Amino acid sequence: MSVMSGEGALAVFARAKELERKGRSIIHLELGEPDFHPPAPVLDAAKSALHEGKDRYCPVQGVPALREELAAYLNHTRRLNVSADNVVIAPGCKIALFMAMMALIEPGDEVLYPDPGFPGYSSITLGVGGVPVPFELAERNQFQPDPDEIAAKITSRSKVLLTNSPGNPTGTVYTDKVQRRIAELAVQHDLLVVSDEIYARIIYGGEYASMLRYRGMEERALIIDGFSKSFAMTGWRLGYTVAPAHIVPALNMLTMNSYTCVAEFTQYAAIEALRDRQGATPRMVAEFAKRREQFTGHLNRVPGFRCAPPEGAFYAWVNITDTGMSAEEICRIMLEEAGVAAIPGAAFGPSGNDFVRFSFASSAATLKEAVERILKVSTAWQGTPAGR
Ligand SMILES: Cc1ncc(COP(=O)(O)O)c(C=O)c1O
């Protein structure tokens, strides 16, 4: 336990909540949680399932009807060729990731992962006895992974290569060229690829390319995905892994020894979410697209802030070097003096040091007010010379 770490977002959230309890008005831009809820047919499906008595222990790997629906959904939306047998349902993406890592990593195995990246990547790796090996998502590369850097960091102990496109916190959608090179490296060095595709539906142009589409990946890539972001179902705790056939038994063994199965009625509601008869997901993404333009435009008016509109996900990743202050100090001033909660970039790894992450999963009016509040307190750093 001593090697694992928490999440910066949750720490900021706790402090923001404390201030709220004292009567302060707080704008929450720290959590990666859509401000949408699932549409009525999904809620109705959950209610019907409960009334039909679907509240029992159910199959370890997940309800077959949901796994069938997921296979069809993935094959349709990502042009894949997976079967229901490859799908393992989990209570959230994080637990899907945790189980996959537990299944794949032996003590001392090295895991290559993006930095900045989701905090769980390094923490879970350490927790299962692995060795985290970060590869940088640098601003000079538009936050794309550098396959040459990855190649240079591969050793005889390398076991897993973690990818996350679109990425948290940078919003980067990996280019075809980068993904092709990553796939080639994985084949060449016999690595497993764990592709966290939780933001796959939230992209602002182009067609999504899953890692599973690349040559040689069918045998060695696992997709981690779920319902938290694309279907605005964070609290339902629903995720899944798509794994090669030879890895599925290990995931089932871990499930059997831990959570047994995912709540049955939520799985039936998830089928309805996937069918999305009302087009809720495209509508949500269209709304995010509008906010993305507006919010990043407004943030760039804050002295010392610099950010480009992300290609995917719903985060603004802002370089604050020109404020002359640390990201921690900027976040402290924003929260304590302006009531705007955001996360210092170092919470996502050392390469995030000079950045702040804002979630734009809040209404356009709220985002506008957040920037107005920040502009007011920015006198604290205005006039500070650029650089440190
Ligand atoms: C990249 C990434 N992976 C996984 C997760 C966890 O998802 P879930 O809420 O389904 O456990 C998140 C949540 O913020 C995330 O950003």
Q: How far is CA 4 from CA 58, 92, 120, 338, 361, in A?
A: 32, 19, 9, 32, 28
CA of 299 to the centre of ligand 1 (A): 25
40 in any annotated domain: no
Q: In 52-175, which residue ranges form alpha helices assigned H by DSSP? A: 64-77, 93-104, 120-127, 147-153
Residues 230 and 317 in one domain: no
Say yes or no: CB of residue 351 within 6 Å of ligand 1. no
* pLDDT score of 383: 54
Residue 223, domain member (yes or no): yes
Ligand 1 atom nearest to 237, measured from its CA: 10
Encoded tokens for 33: 């949680």
| 315 C-beta closer than 6 A to ligand 1 | no
Kindly state whether residues 117 and 19 are assigned to the same domain.
no
Q: Which residue has the tokens 């964070």?
A: 234
Query: What CATH number is attached to the domain comprising 96?
Result: 3.40.640.10
**Helix (H) / strand (E) containing 162:** strand 158-163
With CA atoms as reference, report the closest residue to 356 among 331, 382, 337: 331
Q: Does residue 239 line the site of ligand 1, with CB under 6 A? A: yes
- The last residue of a domain, from among 251, 275, 299: 275
The Å distance, Cα 288 to ligand 1 centre, comes to 18
Q: Do residue 257 and residue 286 come from a single domain?
A: no
**Whether residue 373 is found in the same domain as residue 308:** yes
Q: Pick from 221, 240, 275: which residue ends a domain?
A: 275
Q: Is residue 220 part of a domain?
A: yes
Residues pairing with 356 in the sheet = 318, 344
Indicate the pTM of the whole model: 0.96
Do 341 and 373 have their domain in common? yes
DSSP sequence for 339-376: -EE-EEGGGG-GGGTTEEEEE--S-HHHHHHHHHHHHH
* Rounded Cα distance, 282 and 276, in Å: 9
Residue 167 Cβ inside 6 Å of ligand 1? The answer reads no
What angle in degrees, to the nearest 10, is found between the helix axes of 40-51 and 264-275?
Answer: 150
Going by C-alpha positions, the residue among 30, 19, 12 that lies closest to residue 337 is 19
Looking at the structure, tell me whether residues 374 and 327 fall in a common domain.
yes
Nearest to 93 by CA among 258, 235, 227, 250: 227
* Predicted pLDDT at 283: 97
Is the CB of residue 171 less than 8 Å from the CB of residue 311? yes
Q: Tell me, yes or no, whether 252 lies in a domain.
A: yes
Q: What radius of gyration do the chain's Cα atoms show?
A: 21
103 and 21, same structural domain?
Answer: no
The answer to whether residue 43 is domain-embedded is no
Examine residue 388 and state whether it is found in any structural domain, yes or no: no
Residues 308 and 338 in one domain: yes
Is there a domain that residue 352 lies in? yes
User: What gap in Å lies between CA 230 and CA 223, rounded to an integer?
Assistant: 15
Quote the domain boundaries for residue 66: 54-275
165 and 305 housed in the same domain: no
Ligand 1 in contact with 314 (CB < 6 A)?
no
pLDDT value, residue 8: 77
**Domains contained in the chain, number:** 2
State which ligand 1 atom lies nearest to the alpha carbon of 97: 4
Instruction: Mark whether 66 and 191 lie in a shared domain.
Output: yes
**94 Cα–ligand 1 center, Å:** 6
Residue where a domain terminates, one of 252, 275, 298: 275
37 is a domain residue: no
Dist. CA 30 → ligand 1 center (Å): 14
Which atom number of ligand 1 is nearest to the Cα of residue 32? 14
- String of DSSP letters for 10-51: HHHHHHHHHHHHTT---EE-SS---S----HHHHHHHHHHHH
The pLDDT assigned to 388 comes to 40
Amino acid 382: pLDDT: 75
Test site for ligand 1: of 125, 198, 238, 240, most ligand atoms within 8 A of the Cβ: 198
* Residue 266 and residue 286 in one domain: no
Nearby residues of 364 by Cβ (< 8 Å), 6 or more positions away:
290, 291, 294, 295
pLDDT at residue number 386: 44
Averages of pLDDT over runs of 10 residues in the chain (388 residues) are 86 92 96 94 98 98 98 96 98 98 98 97 98 98 98 98 98 98 98 98 96 97 98 97 98 98 98 97 97 96 96 98 95 96 96 97 95 96 56
Q: Which amino acid is residue 263, in one-letter code?
A: A
Indicate whether 238 and 368 sit together in one domain.
no
Query: Which residues, in sequence order, are bridge partners of residue 193?
Result: 161, 221
User: Where residue 15 sits, what CATH number does that domain have?
Assistant: 3.90.1150.10
- How many residues are given for the chain? 388
- Does the beta carbon of 118 sit less than 6 angstroms from any atom of ligand 1? yes
